[in-house]
A and B are shown apart, each in its own frame.
Chain A
Amino acid sequence: MRNGRLIVSTAMVVASSLGASIAAQEVPYFSSRRSIIARSPDRDPFRGADARGAAWFAMSSTSKVAASVVPPPQSVLLALWAQLQSGALIIDLLSSLGRASLGYAVSALIGVPLGLAMGTNPVVRALVSAPSSCCGRSRPSPGFPWRSSGLASGSRASCS
């Protein structure tokens, strides 16, 4: 079941290193496109992918490391192609997506009405936040990372 996600993430690494090696040649289309996408070299997502791909290939081609620990890139690509052809990758990916979206939907259906009820009704808020000692105060702590991700300034700017 987790096979699909592993293969997909490995294939993304392979694709990024392949894309970097293609784009490194001075093809006009790729160079102009890279200049549009990556405005500064710090934000280039393919930066260092060449070195990483080369290090992967060198590490797996030497016999020091077992192939079961670090498989070479070509066998990863072959496994990706075999799983795509047999349809197992699609099935595993769909089941993973289904489970993730089911959990997300359930938590959204519970979390949003419960949060609205907690915000508007002090009785509900006291009932829900009583078991936890950290949220026993009337406000959630402002130092938590979900408040630092732009919520406080955004809502205040839209209110005033």
Chain B
Amino acid sequence: MFVTFIVCIFLILLNTLAAVMEVEPDMIKAARTLGAGRRLIFQKVVLPSALPGILLGLRVALSGAWGA
């Protein structure tokens, strides 16, 4: 279990981090122009835009979990 955790945590964490940092800054600026707060920007812009990357990390880690 610990080995599986070590294998999975970096794949999931770094993929999520990269996905969140790949979010288009113009979209965040546009949402802020329209009057959205931090919470609303996170819900409506950051999370949907980063979801493919997060799911990619979960998928890669799923294959690594059984192989570890």
A residues near B (Cβ < 8 Å) are 99-104, 106-108, 110-112, 114-116, 118-120, 125, 139-140, 144, 146-147, 149-152, 154-156, 158-160
A152 to B24, CA, bound (A): 12
A60 to B42, CA, bound (A): 61
Q: What's the least CB distance linking A51 to chain B, in Å?
A: 25
| Given contact pairs A115-B17, A119-B20, A155-B19, A100 touches B68 in the complex (Cβ within 8 A) | yes
Residues of B9-68 at the interface with A, using a CB-CB cut-off of 8 Å, are 9, 11-24, 27, 42, 46-47, 49-50, 52-54, 56-58, 60-62, 65-66, 68
Q: A119 to B46, Cβ gap below 8 A?
A: yes
Q: What's the least CB distance linking A124 to chain B, in Å?
A: 10
Set of chain A residues within 8 Å of B42, measured between Cβ atoms: 120
Q: B65 to A116, Cβ gap below 8 A?
A: no
Please provide the 6 A-B residue pairs with the shortest distance between their CB atoms, ordered closest to farther. Answer: A119-B20, A115-B16, A103-B4, A111-B12, A107-B8, A107-B9
The winner among A115, A120, A149 for most chain B CB atoms within 10 A is A115
Chain A binding surface SS class: helix
Q: How many B residues face the partner with a CB closer than 8 A?
A: 40
A117 to B60, CA, bound (A): 21
Q: B8 to A103, Cβ gap below 8 A?
A: yes
Give B46's nearest chain A residue, CB to CB. A120
Q: What's the least CB distance linking B65 to chain A, in Å?
A: 4
Q: A107 to B4, Cβ gap below 8 A?
A: yes
